[in-house]
Amino acid sequence: MTMSRRWVLQRRPTGDIQPGDLALVEEPVRDLEAGEVLIRTVYLSLDPTNRLWMSDQDQYLPPVQIGETMRGGGVGVVERSRSDRFRQGEVVNPGLSGWSTHTIAHESGVHHVPAMPGVPLTAFMSVLGATGLTAWFGMLDIGRPQAGETVVVSAAAGAVGSIAGQLARLRGARVIGIAGGKAKCDWLVDELGFDGAIDYKNEDVGAALDRLCPNGVDVNFENVGGEIMDAVFSRMNNFGRMALCGMISTYNLDGAIKGPSDFGRILMHRLMIKGFIIIDYLPRAAEAFAELGPLVASGQLKWKAHVEDGLENAVEAVGRLFTGDHDGKLLLRVSPEP
């Protein structure tokens, strides 16, 4: 009998996730019904939105309910199948599943993970997965950077921000990244080719923006929210565009999330601010992958994956998102790759 482990939401966190907010339970895997597959999770994606899903605040998907498996995305290997489309041993993506060692999914929601020579499986959880799609549509469909414009990316050394900034550079824009710590800022400039970087942990963001963006900001790819977002917003030029991807600085706070301090600037400078969620763009995913695939295969687009091991470490690992103690895309290795 196959046994499965999964994290269950026990209570809604207040502030940082605490011991007892989630519980790890073990149980036997039920028999499959027609059209279903049993998938052994290999990699689990850890994202800021995981914390949002644990809360009951207004959000883009229904909150995870008390007693339910913690929601998450991953890739895995088919262990058993009652589907004509999937065979044992194939690597697949079950879409949004959960923090668990095994997932039972209907074939209608499962997709094969393609094999690309020289490209590791972790790429399909990052630059060639939802991460890459988020960066591509946020930067190119909303931000629309033009050659010579100034683009600012917050959380720029993160999984999404690092790719978004590189895409803007490929369009000929000047790109300034905001990140935490000298090592991350050096990586942005020395490895990714950013035109400048701001270490928000050790320098005044507003003063650094004035120095690095003397002619203002045309595009803001926003991942952080709060004071950092406000500093960039207050320096945006006429007809500037903000792609609002995330507000990680606010996810552990209770109550309504504050917006820009000078709302009138949106009118006076004719700014466009658009929040977006990648699930809205999935029908157009082929557009993004048509560019991302060759860029990754050729090495023109650089990316990092930070892998932690063991499902039992999921709660501790997701906390790294809020301390910045990770490089690039944060993944949890639940079982060995095939």
**What pLDDT, on the 0 to 100 scale, is given for residue 307?**
95
* Residue 2 DSSP label: -
Which residue in the block uniquely carries the two structure tokens 């414009």?
A: 149
Same fold, 3-126+303-333 and 130-279: no
**What pLDDT, on the 0 to 100 scale, is given for residue 250?**
77
pLDDT range class, residue 194, cuts 50, 70, 90: very high
Neighbours of 237 (CB within 10 A): 17
pLDDT range class, residue 327, cuts 50, 70, 90: confident
Mean pLDDT, residues 32-60 taken together: 94
pLDDT tens digit string along 119-129?
999 999 999 99
pLDDT tens digit string along 291-305?
999 999 999 999 999
* Angle (nearest 5°) at CA 105 between 103 and 110: 110
**What pLDDT, on the 0 to 100 scale, is given for residue 257?**
77
**What pLDDT, on the 0 to 100 scale, is given for residue 58?**
87
pLDDT range class, residue 306, cuts 50, 70, 90: very high
Mean pLDDT, residues 35-63 taken together: 93
**For residue 35, what are the CA distances in angstroms to 15, 21, 54, 90, 122?**
41, 34, 30, 16, 27
Q: Taking the model in full, what pTM does it have?
A: 0.91
Contacting residues for 81 by C-beta, under 8 A, at least 6 apart: 32, 36, 37, 38, 87, 88
Mean pLDDT, residues 207-231 taken together: 96
**What pLDDT, on the 0 to 100 scale, is given for residue 293?**
94
User: What's 3-126+303-333's CATH class?
Assistant: alpha beta
Q: How far is CA 236 from the centre of its chain?
A: 25
**What pLDDT, on the 0 to 100 scale, is given for residue 164?**
98
For the chain, domain boundaries: 3-126+303-333, 130-279
**What pLDDT, on the 0 to 100 scale, is given for residue 259?**
81
**What pLDDT, on the 0 to 100 scale, is given for residue 256?**
75
* Angle (nearest 5°) at CA 144 between 143 and 147: 120
**What pLDDT, on the 0 to 100 scale, is given for residue 249?**
81
When mean pLDDT is compared across 198-207, 252-261, 314-323, the lowest value belongs to 252-261
Mean pLDDT, residues 8-24 taken together: 94
**Position 254 pLDDT exceeds 90:** no
Query: What is the percentage of the chain residues whose pLDDT exceeds 90?
Result: 87
Longest Cα separation, the chain: 65
Query: How high does pLDDT run on average in the chain?
Result: 94
The Cα 157–Cα 298 span in angstroms is: 21
The Cα 152–Cα 174 span in angstroms is: 8
Contacting residues for 99 by C-beta, under 8 A, at least 6 apart: 6, 7, 44, 69, 70, 71, 72, 311, 314
Render 104-152 in DSSP notation, one character per residue. Answer: EEEGGG-EEPP--TT--GGGGGTTTSHHHHHHHIIIIIII---TT-EEE
pLDDT range class, residue 116, cuts 50, 70, 90: confident
**Position 115 pLDDT exceeds 90:** no
Mean pLDDT, residues 143-152 taken together: 98
Q: Do 2 and 29 touch, CB atoms closer than 8 A?
A: yes
Structure tokens at 96: 């949004």
pLDDT range class, residue 228, cuts 50, 70, 90: very high
CATH of domain 130-279: 3.40.50.720
